[in-house]
Structure 1
Amino acid sequence: MIGARASGLTHVFEPKEAVAACAQLTRAHSSTFYLGSRFFPARERSAVSVIYAVCRSGDDAVDEAPSPEVGRRRLLVWQEGIERAYAGEPQPGAFLEVGLHWVLQHYEVPRSAFDELYLGLESDLDNRPFHTMDELMLYCRRVAGVVGLLIAPIAGYRGGEATLQCALALGQAMQLTNILRDVGEDLAMGRLYLPLELMDKHGVTRASLEAGVVSDRYIALLEELAERTCALYREGWQGIPKLNGVAAAAVGVAALNYEGILNKLRQNGYDNLTKRAYLRPVERLALIPKAVYGICSAP
């Protein structure tokens, strides 16, 4: 089950308590997402916190597994918990299942998005390199782009499928930002998400990255990926004003925070092998009026 307490006696979660536990998990694991969620009205804020917590649980099932075999078993348990929530039969001792069931009683969150997320998380267990940009973009869609599809029904939106495509692009941009930020940390865990075709194009080898060499060739590779990421942010921003009410500000703040991380990486000379690009709390807060102005001035 997802979100159960490990104890001799299973605690039974009431929906309100389960949602609070999800909010606590969200705050502990993602300051950017949590800051953005504060702009939602109370019920929507609770719902998006549950969605984040469920997605995070699946990610942890993979990242914290001691072996791929254990990871697959944990991921299957995670998927089964989601199935129970959608079937209206959550395990009472699993706060994520109870919380997700509560969300589904109020919002039409697409099950297909969780199915795509499962495929993306499962691919992490294989630890196979991406050969092409298309493979990388599919991965980014599955592990992050679909989060936009999960949140859009909660936020409310206009513009139909075009707005959902913008949400997908924004999620992909955020995931690419994470990948660009974490190359050094991922290498330390034996992972590399940079497409092999792009590394070959720029003459960059895995050995040079593991040696911590930030060469001109490597900077050119990262700049090409950064430009692709910026284009996705521009596409994503076209959909943000289509979200209802303060939801637009909430997503806008999160988007600017991720864009800020990309800008920090550039300021660090693209050294993502020995440094971590991040925003200080005061820098995060300074982005709030910029997000609001950008949304209010949109056509």
Structure 2
Amino acid sequence: MTDLTKAYLHCESIIKDHSKTFYKAFMLLPKEKKQAVWAVYAFCRQVDDIVDEGRDPKEELFGFKQSFAVFLKDQLPSQDPMWLALQDVFRKYEMDVQAFHDMITGQEMDLYKKLYYTEEEVLHYSYHVASTVGLMLLPILAPNNKEALRQDAIALGQAMQITNILRDIGEDLERDRIYIPIEKLEQAGYSTEDLKMHIVNNKFISVWEDMANKAEKLYEQAMSSIDLYPLHSRTPVKGAAYLYRAILGSIRKKGYSVFKMKHYVSNEEKREIISQI
């Protein structure tokens, strides 16, 4: 087994462990493209883990940025197999380097910004941490239509991140983070203290639904250009979108219990969704 094969298997194990939804969706791609997606995911995961779990995240993120600068000179910054796999991806595809920089910037926001007041702020954050991933994947998934698909790829990332936010309200509160727009909560007569007390009432549900509707419109926008993807990429992209969107339905079914429970789409539901695409 070559070092490159081992590097890709290492990246596969990371996406398999951390995002069964994405893993399931992108399993349907041809081998080379599937491996490229694994490598991009491993890069993103590493940045995410530094910010959420690092002992000294500011220092570690600074070190990671330096490693990426070395990588962009076509040198391997360390023995980490992720870099070897990613180097192969950069040689095979015309990658969007700015999207990688923007994603690191988005993760860095979590080190300095804990509260989000407006929907615009949430969309700006969502672009940086999620839409950028779509822009990283476009040269792999639809190399001939990257520019035509750009805005809708951004919309899909924002839709998915808002879904994450609506699912992870309780988890984020434990980290003193509030991504639900505080302005919307206040307009509904629901305070951040109510949020910290895990109160689920009509005011909370109205704000949650307002953001869920925003996400659903963004999902629809993203899917409006699905025909511009090559055939082999359409099902994975639709799969990822539909599987993620289904999380919103799961939360509704379970009475908006976002403070104590992490909502997932069951394997049975996933199979049903994928079979309908």
TM-score by length of 1: 0.89
List gaps (5 residues or longer) in structure 1. 1-12, 292-299
* Map of 2:12 onto structure 1: 23
Q: What amino acid sits opposite 2:3 in the alignment?
A: E
Q: Deviations over 1:9-47 (max 9, x none)?
A: xxxx82221111011111010001100110110000000
The alignment yields a C-alpha RMSD, in angstroms, of 1.4
Q: How far 1:80 sits from its partner (Å)?
A: 2.3
* Map of 2:222 onto structure 1: 236
Q: What amino acid sits opposite 1:167 in the alignment?
A: A
Does structure 1 retain, via aligned residues, the 8 Å contact 2:139–2:146?
no
* Map of 1:248 onto structure 2: 234
Residue of 42, 47, 50 corresponding to 2:39 = 50
Residue of 25, 42, 59 corresponding to 1:36 = 25
Q: How far 1:160 sits from its partner (Å)?
A: 5.0
Q: Deviations over 1:87-126 (max 9, x none)?
A: 1101351111111111001011111001111111111001
Residue aligned with 2:239, SS: helix
Alpha-carbon distance in structure 2 between the residues aligned to 1:132 and 1:19: 40
List gaps (5 residues or longer) in structure 2. none
Q: Does 1:147 align with 2:133?
A: yes
* Map of 1:214 onto structure 2: 200
Q: What amino acid sits opposite 1:198 in the alignment?
A: K
* Map of 1:125 onto structure 2: 111
Q: How far 1:190 sits from its partner (Å)?
A: 1.6
Does structure 2 retain, via aligned residues, the 8 Å contact 1:166–1:239?
yes
Alpha-carbon distance in structure 1 between the residues aligned to 2:210 and 2:144: 33
Residue of 98, 102, 127 corresponding to 1:116 = 102
Residue of 148, 154, 157 corresponding to 1:171 = 157
TM-score by length of 2: 0.95
Q: How far 1:159 sits from its partner (Å)?
A: 4.7
Q: What amino acid sits opposite 2:89 in the alignment?
A: V
Residue aligned with 1:212, SS: coil
Q: How far 1:274 sits from its partner (Å)?
A: 2.4
Q: Deviations over 1:144-175 (max 9, x none)?
A: 00111100100125555331110110011001
Identity %: 31
Does structure 2 retain, via aligned residues, the 8 Å contact 1:113–1:147?
yes
Q: Deviations over 1:53-105 (max 9, x none)?
A: 10011000000024xxx111111222222222221101351111111111001
Number of aligned positions between the proteins: 276
Alpha-carbon distance in structure 1 between the residues aligned to 2:41 and 2:64: 14
Alpha-carbon distance in structure 1 between the residues aligned to 2:114 and 2:34: 36
Q: How far 1:290 sits from its partner (Å)?
A: 1.8
Q: How far 1:239 sits from its partner (Å)?
A: 2.6
* Map of 2:83 onto structure 1: 97
* Map of 1:6 onto structure 2: none
